[in-house]
């Protein structure tokens, strides 16, 4: 089994192309059962990764193709179960906090875990010394999401045009001048990609408000 982790630290597109495209024969020659993680944007550009892209999780409806409305609801329940399975007692995490965390995650499992980890730290640091009284609340989750929004929000100012386009259109931009910012945004989780049915894209929920604010200040349009 091969697991390549920390791909979010690879910021240059030429590095990912070299690793997963130019040297794909290295992976294909390995004589074992293998799991290879890769930047999801590659699935839209290279046929060899089309099947793997189907593992995406979505918690909202595809705006371009009618889907089973129960799928999003079931996925939300699955993500909530992931959270509850990681705590000793369910009542340690308020239901509203779980729902809010799932909303902010956009269906991205790693991002969901980041949110819950930061929220838990907030809950512990803000509550009394008696940890038996500690409850993870919706406010803790909101604060965690705000913290996680700080880094990608710095990129919003530079990529506001493509982010506003995705926010309004939910599809890959055809304008070649936006392609670099689009790929970079998918790589650093500013944009989430979904391939359940017709491919579509969504701005990371924690920076949606920032995109709206900066787009208004700059007069950016989605068209």
Contact 34, 4 (CB under 8 A): no
Residue with tokens 């701005």: 203
φ/ψ of 138, rounded to 5, equals -60, -35
For residue 126, the model assigns a pLDDT of: 64
For residue 163, the model assigns a pLDDT of: 94
146-191 pLDDT, tens digit per residue, is 988 886 666 788 899 999 999 999 999 999 999 989 988 887 888 9
109-144 pLDDT, tens digit per residue, is 888 999 999 999 888 876 555 555 678 999 999 999
Reported as a pLDDT band with limits 50, 70 and 90, residue 96 is: very high
Distance CA 7, CA 20 (A): 11
For residue 41, the model assigns a pLDDT of: 62
CA end-to-end distance (rounded Å), the chain: 45
* 220 three-state secondary structure: coil
Query: Quick check: 30 pLDDT over 70?
Result: yes
Among 121, 106, 220, 118, which residue's Cα sits nearest to residue 163?
220
* 112 three-state secondary structure: helix
CA distances from 98 to 119, 140, 143, 148 (A): 11, 11, 14, 17
How much is the mean pLDDT over the chain?
81
**What DSSP string runs through 141-162?**
HHHHHHHHHHHHHHHHHHHHHH
| Per-residue tokens: 160 | 């506001």
| Per-residue tokens: 88 | 């000793």
Domain ranges for the chain: 7-55, 69-147, 152-218
Distance CA 66, CA 145 (A): 30
How deeply is 35 buried, as exposed, middle or buried, from its count of CB atoms within 10 A (0-12, 13-18, 19+)?
A: exposed
- Which CATH architecture fits 69-147? Orthogonal Bundle (1.10)
C-beta neighbour count of 2 within 10 angstroms: 12
Strands (DSSP E) along 100-212, which ranges?
A: 191-194, 200-203
Among 125, 123, 120, 103, which residue's Cα sits nearest to residue 112?
103
């Amino acid at each position: 089994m091969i697991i390549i982790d920390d791909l979010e630290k690879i910021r240059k597109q030429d590095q990912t192309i070299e690793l997963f495209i130019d040297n794909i024969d290295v992976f294909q020659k390995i004589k074992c059962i293998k799991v290879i993680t890769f930047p999801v944007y590659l699935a839209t550009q290279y046929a060899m990764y089309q099947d793997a892209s189907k593992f995406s999780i979505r918690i909202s409806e595809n705006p371009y193709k009618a889907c089973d409305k129960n799928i999003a609801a079931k996925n939300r329940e699955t993500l909530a179960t992931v959270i509850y399975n990681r705590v000793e007692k369910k009542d340690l995490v308020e239901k509203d906090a779980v729902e809010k965390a799932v909303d902010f995650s956009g269906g991205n499992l790693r991002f969901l875990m980041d949110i819950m980890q930061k929220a838990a730290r907030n809950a512990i640091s803000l509550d009394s010394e008696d940890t038996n009284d500690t409850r993870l609340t919706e406010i803790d989750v909101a604060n965690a999401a705000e913290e996680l929004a700080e880094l990608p929000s710095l990129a919003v100012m530079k990529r506001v045009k493509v982010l506003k386009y995705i926010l309004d259109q939910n599809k890959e931009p055809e304008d070649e001048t936006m392609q670099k910012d689009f790929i970079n945004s998918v790589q650093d989780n500013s944009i989430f990609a979904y391939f359940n049915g017709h491919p579509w894209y969504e701005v990371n929920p924690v920076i949606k408000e920032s995109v709206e604010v900066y787009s208004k200040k700059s007069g950016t349009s989605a068209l």
